[in-house]
Amino acid sequence: MSLTLRARVVAGRLVLDEPVELPDGTVVELMPAEEVDGLDEAERGRLHASLQRAAEQLGKGGGVALDEALRRIRGAEIA
């Protein structure tokens, strides 16, 4: 099962931002997101700048429809 949970630390406790449908007693392993991606600060800065540019382009009506993006990706894998 692949499930991403988002939580915040409040008074030293992790508080989920939204409800989850897990049975009582389910054990969930948590780790800070900064340790998951393996990026250094420079790489993370470039990633965030790129995401910001993408958000601005989308806000201006730019971007590619999902089906077109998938077609391009699948075409690149074949080539």
**pLDDT, tens only, 39-68:** 888 998 999 999 999 989 988 988 888 898
Q: Do the domain assignments include residue 2?
A: no
Q: Do the domain assignments include residue 58?
A: yes
* Cα 75 to Cα 72: distance, rounded to the nearest angstrom: 5
The domain tally of the chain equals 1
- pLDDT confidence of residue 48: 92
Q: Do the domain assignments include residue 47?
A: yes
- Residue 53 structural domain: 7-78
Contacts of 37 (CB under 8 A, 6+ apart): 44
At 79, the pLDDT band (50, 70, 90 cuts) reads very low
- pLDDT confidence of residue 15: 87
Q: Which residue has the tokens 């948590």?
A: 30
For residue 4, is pLDDT > 80? no
Q: Do the domain assignments include residue 1?
A: no
- Note the pTM of the prediction, 2 decimals: 0.41
Q: Do the domain assignments include residue 19?
A: yes
* Cα 52 to Cα 62: distance, rounded to the nearest angstrom: 13
